[in-house]
A and B are shown apart, each in its own frame.
Chain A
Amino acid sequence: MSSALRILTSRWGPIITGAVVGVVAPILVKQGNPGNMGICVACFSRDLAGALGLHQVSTVQYIRPEIIGFVLGAMVAALLFAEFRPRTGSSPLLRFLLGMLASVGALVFLGCPWRALLRLSGGDWNAIAGLLGLTAGIILGIVFLRMGFSLGRSRPAPQALGWVMPVLMIVLLVLLIAAPQFGRDANGKPTGPIFFSAKGPGSQHAPIALSLAAGLVIGFLAQRSRFCTVGAIRDLILLRDSHLFNGVVALVAAAFLTNLALGQFVAGFKNQPIAHSDGLWNFGGMALAGLAFTLAGGCPGRQLFLSGEGDADAAIFSLGMIVGAGFAHNFSLASSAAGPGAYGPAAVVVGLIACAIIGLTVREAKAA
């Protein structure tokens, strides 16, 4: 098996992973996920935040099995190939903050880099502004990296630390299936602790087993191939290396063809599913997200795959995204189909300033 899987660490690895994501994501939409949202780590973090009661927007609450699968699939691959290496210590609090800011930026656009690519593949031209913003954010991140930005070194950690995130995912899977309800309030509304949408995007989902299987397969492939949508653009610009970018191209091509085959390709700016057509803030939101992802070392999918390898710093970033998604809705920062939230644009500006301060001031602390 290992020789057949060796192709995943070759130049074909990101291409195969991207192609699989490109085929699987539109199928998940066909099977029930929201439009152009076969996979979206930001949207799914937001749904997860809602399901756990971290925000109360009743239309976006669901425990997305794809997220669980990403972490556990990567964990299986890491264990099989002796790459499960618990580690921590690279500025975890800053990573949590960067995760929150990335989440806010992505929810102003309405999608993580994966969904930006999937939206483009489905004919949603608003994604172009988002992808340009993402690239601008990554370029800004590269400038900070060149000036010496570093979150510092991680170091090996006890085995137990590496297992926290996989175990958390199994707990989420149990909560998804058991969906415990402790009671109802005077108006008959469930009081939780787990909330699932009865209508809206949160209520739209593929069967649990299919979503979980998709997540597991993608998690496995991506751990082996180091698939990363932000690293793809970063390495192309910074290192003139197209290794990861080929995977992004494969994703877009495969998703475009699959959407065409499934009758899901609808070109235009208006009336796109879970999208708005405010170009400025599609750009701005993703610029913030791209900068935060670059400073943290990778896209939100990659952070989940690293979490599965035992990287507790990446896990902290991913948890920051979930908490940030809760804040994004509670503070009216997230966009809706009508356009940016009341305070979304202001949050993007504040977030960019915060990232710039981090980028300009954080350097590796030298040991005494």
Chain B
Amino acid sequence: MKTVKTIDARGLSCPQPAMLTRQALQRMSSGSLEVLVDSGTSRDNVTRLAERAGWRVQIHEQPDGSFRLVLEK
């Protein structure tokens, strides 16, 4: 089974969740990346960044109120 790389950005302040995501995406031309965030702001920032770079983003709200974002290209 293919392992999906995960970035856990929960609890980090702006702009770190977007920065970590950007660094990871710059090392991947395609594939799948999972990003965990725990605020609406980080969810929106990571989604905007990924979509601008041509990635599809699925947002899964978790029972604890955090978000699991699945980025695919």
Chain B, interface size category, equals 20 to 34
> Nearest chain B CB to A230's CB is how many angstroms away?
9
Chain B CB within 10 A, most for which of A226, A228, A234: A226
Q: Which residues of A contact B39 (CB under 8 A)?
A: 83, 85
27 contacts between A and B (CB under 8 A): A9-B40, A82-B65, A85-B39, A87-B11, A90-B11, A145-B16, A146-B19, A150-B12, A150-B13, A150-B16, A154-B13, A156-B64, A226-B41, A228-B14, A231-B14, A231-B15, A234-B15, A235-B18, A238-B19, A239-B19, A241-B18, A243-B48, A296-B13, A297-B13, A297-B14, A298-B13, A298-B14
B70 within 8 Å of A by Cβ? no
| Cα distance, A296 to B40, chains bound together (Å) | 18
> Nearest chain A CB to B17's CB is how many angstroms away?
11
Assess whether B22 is in contact with A239, with CB atoms less than 8 Å apart: yes
A89 within 8 Å of B by Cβ? yes
Assess whether B48 is in contact with A241, with CB atoms less than 8 Å apart: yes
Interface size on A, residues (CB 8 A): 30
Q: Which residues of A contact B15 (CB under 8 A)?
A: 145, 231, 234-235, 238-239, 297
Q: Which residues does A use to contact B, with CB under 8 Å?
A: 9, 81-83, 85, 87, 89-90, 145-146, 150-156, 226, 228, 231, 234-235, 238-239, 241, 243, 296-298, 313
| Cα distance, A226 to B13, chains bound together (Å) | 13
> Nearest chain A CB to B31's CB is how many angstroms away?
21
Q: In terms of DSSP, what is the predominant structure of the interface of chain A?
A: loop
Assess whether B13 is in contact with A90, with CB atoms less than 8 Å apart: yes
B7 within 8 Å of A by Cβ? no
Q: Which residues of B contact A146 (CB under 8 A)?
A: 19
Cβ contact of B11, chosen from A83, A154, A234, cutoff 8 A: A154
Q: Which residues of B contact A241 (CB under 8 A)?
A: 18, 48-49, 52
